[in-house]
Structure 1
C-alpha cells in the first residue's frame, strides 16, 4: 500500500505522507477497497446507488445515505450524522460496490434509519477535527494513568475523537468485567468531554494498532482481513507444526490467523491418508508409524523391537498391507516394500558458473609465524649445504701441507 505522497525522497529515504491514516488518495489507509467499476458508466435509465462507505480512524467503517445527492468521490472528507453532533470521515467507496459491501456485512440497503451525509467538510471542520486528533495521544496517556491509580485491570489501547470534538471513544481490553464508572467521572472532569467506553478483543486491538508480523509483512488483520475466525491448535496438528506458543501466537497473543489459510488443503490431502496411529502386522514383528509426509505421500514405520531403524513406505503400500491385515494375513517384512522406494535424488543446483564455495570464509587462516619459521629452516638448510664443500676443501689443503712437510724432512735427512 502506498500513495503518491509516500514516494522516495532524497538519498533513497522514504518521505511518507505523515497523514496518520487520513491520506487523501486512500492509497495508504487500512482495509482499502479497489473500485474496479469506477471507469464503467451506468446503463441508461439507472440511477447511481445513494449510499456511500465512510471510514473513520483506523479500520472503523460505516455506511451513510447520500440524501442531498452530493457529487462524492473516493478521498472526499465529509461531515456525517452522529448520535449527537456530527462526525468527520473520509469516503472510501461509492457506487454499486457499496451495495455489495453492505450485503456482505449484512446491512439493509433499504433501511430508512440509516445515518445521512450532511455535507462536504469545510476547512473549519477539518481544522477542528485535526486539532482533536492531535490531542488523542496525550489524552490516552493521561487516561492510562487514571486507570492505574484506580487499580483497574484493563488496558486502554486507543482513543477516537468525534469530528466536532464533543465526544471521545476509549477502546480497551480486559480479561474480566471492569467497573469503570469512577473512571468515566474522573476522565470527564479532566478532559471536559463526553466519554464512551468500548471493549474490544485482542484481535481487534491488533487490527486497530497494526504492526509487522513474523513474516516481515504488515498484519493481515490491519490490511485486508475483516472477519476473525476461531483458530484452534488442531489446525497446527493437521499441518504437522510444533505446538510452540511463541511461534504460533501473533502480536495479539492468540493463535495466528494464517494457520487457517492452508488448512483446507491439508484436510483434503488427509482424507485418504493413513492415520498416525496405524499399526502394521508383519511376520518380523509389529510396526508403528513414526513420521508422515502428506504431500510426498510417504510414511515412516519402525518395528517395535527396533524403534531406531525406520522404513519408508508409500501411501499405496500402507493401504495394501492394511488390506492384508484385515484379512488376517501378515506380510513377511517391511524391507520387501522399502526396496522399491529408494530413488536417486537429482541435483537441483549445479555450479556451472564457477562460483566459490559458501564455506570458503569458514576455513581457519594460517598463521604468519609458521611461514617465517619455514623460511628460516630453509635458509639454515641451504647454509649447511653450502658449508659442506668448503669444509672438504679445507681438509684437502691441510693434507697437502702435511705431505710437503714430510717430504722436506726426508730430504734434509738424506742431505745431512
Structure 2
C-alpha cells in the first residue's frame, strides 16, 4: 500500500506551535495505522484524540509515548518488559501482608502483589511498561494532534460506525449495477471531515468514475475509493491467525515488511506454502520476527553441508538446530550422529570447524 504524507486539517496553523512538546504514537482504530503526532501536554495510553491521518482528520488512540522509539536493541539485553510480573514465588518469611493463592491441582503457591480490590495487572511493571512521557525539541514538519476527543466526538464516532454497514450495502449494490470487477472490503466515515472512504481490492485497474458519481448522489458528501492489497485487507479487517492470536498486521504493527521463503529455510520450517502462509495467502509476517536471531546465532555453528572429522571418519553437517543446541551429522552408509554445540569449535589457525578433543576421546572410548 503506497505510503502518503499525513496532511494537517484545513485552517490549522503550524506557526503558533511551541518549539518543545511531547510526541506520541497514535493509532487510527478504523484503518489500524499508526502515526507520530505532537501535543503540548502529557497524555497517557488509551486517551482518545482527534488527529490528522493520511485520509483526513479522524479519531485516534494514544498508544504510547514516542520519544523513545527507534532506539537500537543491544544484543543480550535482559531489560525487556512485557511479561506479567504480579505472580512470583517468594519465601514464606517475605510474604507479610500479601495475599497468597494456592492452586489445588498443582499445589503451587502464587503471590499476588496487590490490594484485595485492585487488579494485580494495574500496578505490574510488565503489564504497564510505558515510561513517563518526556518533553523534546520539535523540529521539522511535525504533525500536531488537533484536539482531545470530547464525549460528543465519541458519541458521533459511534453513530458513524453504525452507519458504515448501510453504506457498504449501498456501495455493493452500485458495484453490481456497474458490473465492476472489485471486492469491497470496508467503509469508513471520517470523524473530522464530511467524507466516506471505501476500501476495495481488485486484480486489475478499475475505472470507478461512474460509481463515484452514483455514490455522491446518494450520500451527498465527498467520496473516496482506495484500492488496497490482500495483506492490507487483513490489516484493516483483522481476525485470528493460526497461532490463535489476532493478526500481527492488525494488532501489533501496521508496517507490512517483506517476507521471503529464505526466512522459513533459515529457521528449518516446513516449506509447504499451506503451513507458512496466513489467511491473506501471503507468507506469515511472524517469519521475520526471529530471522535475525537465527542468522546471528548460526554464526556460532558450522554451516550445513560442511564436514567435520569425528575420530577417523569424515561426517557431513546435515542439520543445525539452534533451539536444542544440537548438530546432526551424516556419515558413510547412512550413519547419523547428533552432537551438542559444545562439542565443536572454530579453529582460527586452520580456519575450519573441528570437534573438541574431549568429545573425540569420549566418542572413541564408546
Question: Is the contact made by 1:54 and 1:64 (CA closer than 8 Å) also made in structure 2?
Answer: yes
- 1:252-271: CA deviations, max 9, x gaps? 22211222222223222321
Q: Deviations over 1:314-367 (max 9, x none)?
A: 66877799x99x9xxxxxxxx998556x7xxxxxxxxxxxxxxxxxxxxxxxxx
Indicate if the aligned counterparts of 1:313 and 1:338 stay in contact, CA closer than 8 A.
no
Q: After superposition, what is the alpha-carbon deviation per residue over 1:238-280, rounded to whole angstroms, capped at 9, x for unaligned? A: 1111101111112222211222222223222321433332357
1:220 to 238, 242, 248: 248
Segments of structure 1 that go 5 or more residues without pairing to the other structure are 1-45, 327-334, 343-416
Matched with 1:195 is 223
* Residues 12-161 of structure 1: pairs in structure 2 closer than 5 A: 49=21, 55-58=27-30, 59-62=32-35, 77=48, 87-92=57-62, 97-100=65-68, 109-111=138-140, 114=143, 117=146, 121=150, 123=152, 125-161=153-189
Alpha-carbon distance change, 292 to 117 in structure 1, aligned in 2, over 3 angstroms? closer
Shift of 1:313: 5.0
Could you tell me how far apart the structure 1 residues matched to 2:338 and 2:22 are? 65
Residues 139, 338 of structure 1: alpha-carbon distance in 2 compared, 3 angstrom cutoff: farther
Q: TM-score when scaled to structure 1?
A: 0.52
| Residue 282 of structure 2 corresponds to residue 310 of structure 1 | no
SS where residue 207 of structure 2 aligns?
A: coil
The correspondence for 2:271, drawn from 201, 219, 243, is 243
Relative contact order, CA 8 A, sep 6+: which one is greater? 2
Does the 8 Å CA contact 2:49/2:145 hold for their aligned counterparts? no
Alpha-carbon distance change, 282 to 109 in structure 1, aligned in 2, over 3 angstroms: closer
1:180 offset after TM fit, Å?
2.5
Question: Looking at CA atoms only, which structure, 1 or 2, has the larger radius of gyration?
Answer: 1
2:89 corresponds to: none
Cα pair 2:38 2:142 within 8 Å, conserved: no
What is the aligned-residue RMSD (CA, Å)? Answer: 4.7
SS at match of 1:270: helix
Contact kept, 8 Å, 2:313 with 2:331, in 1: the verdict is no
Map Cα deviations across residues 345-397 of structure 1 (whole Å, 9 max, x no partner). xxxxxxxxxxxxxxxxxxxxxxxxxxxxxxxxxxxxxxxxxxxxxxxxxxxxx
1-structure distance, mates of 2:181, 2:310: 61
The 1:316/1:139 distance shift into structure 2, 3 A limit, reads same
Contact 2:235 2:254 in 1 (8 A): no
Query: Which position in structure 2 is the counterpart of 1:300?
Result: 329
Structure 1 residues 315 and 266: CA distance shift in structure 2, 3 A? same
2:262 corresponds to which residue? 234
Q: CA deviation at 1:149?
A: 4.4
Q: Offset of 1:177 from its aligned partner?
A: 3.1
Pair 268,53 (structure 1): closer, same or farther in 2 beyond 3 Å: closer
More helix by share: 1
Give the deviation of 1:63 after TM superposition.
5.4
Query: Structure 1 residues 230-239 or 148-157, which shifts more?
Result: 148-157
> Corresponding residue for 1:209?
237
Q: Tell whether the 8 Å contact from 1:81 to 1:118 is kept in structure 2 after alignment.
A: no
Instruction: Give the corresponding residue for 2:195.
Output: 167
Within 1, Cα distance between the matches of 2:337 and 2:63? 59
1:299 CA drift (Å): 1.9
